[in-house]
Amino acid sequence: MAGRVMHAVQYSSCREGPSDLKVHFVSPVAFPYINQSYFGGSCRNRRLLQQNLFLFQYVELPIPTPKKDEVLIKMEAASISPIDWKIQQGMLRPMLPSHLPCIPGTDVAGEIVEVGSGVKNLKAGDKVVAMLNFYTGGALAEFIAAKASLAVARPEEVSAAEVAGLPAAVQFVKSLGADEVVDCTTPEGAALKSPSGKKYDVVIHSAEPIPWGTFEPNLASNGKIFDVNPTLAAIKSYALKKLIFSKKQLIPVILSSKAENLDFLVKLVKEGKLKTAIDSKYSLIKAEDAWAKNIDEKTAGKIIVEP
């Protein structure tokens, strides 16, 4: 598909102003509408929206050519996660983003339209779900080149939106067997006070960053926090607690990019044993609304972007 172009969404700056945009694309199409309701909420979220929303570009770029070990996927659905806007906000610098401009997103489902010369297990026409690594990103585009080793077949009875949310998906925690669920948007939740008054043995933390000083007094003597959306501060806390042999620990949860793990999840969805919680869906040209919803962090599932 050399010589043809596609639409994609990208940003060229991290925590900088609109004047830092690099206009290098063929034909820009401005985002015509911004959902003003997203400018409500906390002062922090309003600030983040103002810093980030207008850094997005809806662009035309050459369709990538798959390398020897890659497949070219026509995107049917992609999902975005809190880690995506945190990367764009510069929270994981200097590691990420690894390059600018950057097309965000790492979870994608679609149809293979071309395979690299070394790919034997997949072919054009196969429906797949794939994981992209955080260093390359690329999911918010009409076509994506992905490693064949990180793409797995998608059953016909499972929709693209369902599997696009799988690589980093977590079903509602109460249904997973959590003893208590704390809403961090409430004063009691922000202080991590247990409804039962007990200390926590294990905490699955999937909300916005919370200081260790807030966690520590609410943990049992051997309490562990598994941070699903770790920041550099969380990683530093983990290293410090390991260094001083603390029994109370904050453990960053880093997504493991293995095809067998993804294939296992896809099979669970097919069998009805796992359901991807979808909060909302947006078109690619409305990706700024999806990004705003992602920053707002008041979602009840995955945010899906479709062509």
Instruction: Tell me the one-letter amino acid at 207.
Output: A
Helix (H, G, I), strand (E, B) or coil at 258: coil
Distance of alpha carbon 303 from the chain centroid: 9
Query: What pLDDT does 171 receive?
Result: 40
pLDDT score for 110: 96
Return d(Cα 307, Cα 305) in angstroms, integer: 7
- The C-alpha torsion from 96 through 251 and 46 to 37, rounded to 10°, is 110
Common-topology check for domains 5-168+256-306 and 173-252: no
Beta strands in the chain (DSSP E): 5-11, 56-62, 70-80, 107-115, 127-131, 143-147, 151-153, 200-205, 219-227, 249-252, 278-283, 302-306
Distance of CA 240 to the CA centre of its chain: 27
pTM given for the model: 0.68
Give the domain ranges of the chain: 5-168+256-306, 173-252
The SS3 assignment for 119 reads: coil
Phi, psi of 245 (to 5 degrees): 55, 40
Please give the chain's pLDDT, 307 residues, in tens.
656 999 999 888 775 433 332 333 333 344 444 444 444 444 444 454 445 444 678 889 999 999 999 999 999 999 988 778 778 877 777 777 788 888 999 899 999 999 999 999 999 999 999 988 878 889 999 999 999 999 999 988 889 998 887 755 444 444 445 566 666 667 776 677 777 778 888 777 666 667 777 778 888 888 887 776 666 676 777 677 777 777 887 777 665 567 777 787 788 788 887 777 788 999 998 888 888 888 776 677 788 999 9
Rounded Cα distance, 107 and 115, in Å: 19
CATH superfamily of 5-168+256-306: Medium-chain alcohol dehydrogenases, catalytic domain (3.90.180.10)
Q: Which fold has domain 173-252?
A: Rossmann fold (3.40.50)
**Helix, strand, or coil (residue 175):** helix
The whole-number pLDDT of residue 121 equals 92
Distance from the Cα of residue 46 to its chain's centroid = 20
pLDDT at 165: 75
Phi/psi for 278 (5° steps) reads -105, 120
pLDDT given at position 256 = 56
Enter the tokens of residue 40. 């409500």
Q: Is 146 helix (H, G, I), strand (E, B) or coil?
A: strand
Q: Which residue is associated with the tokens 């793409």?
A: 151
If residue 280 lies in a helix (H) or strand (E), which one and from where to where?
strand 278-283
pLDDT of the residue at 28: 36
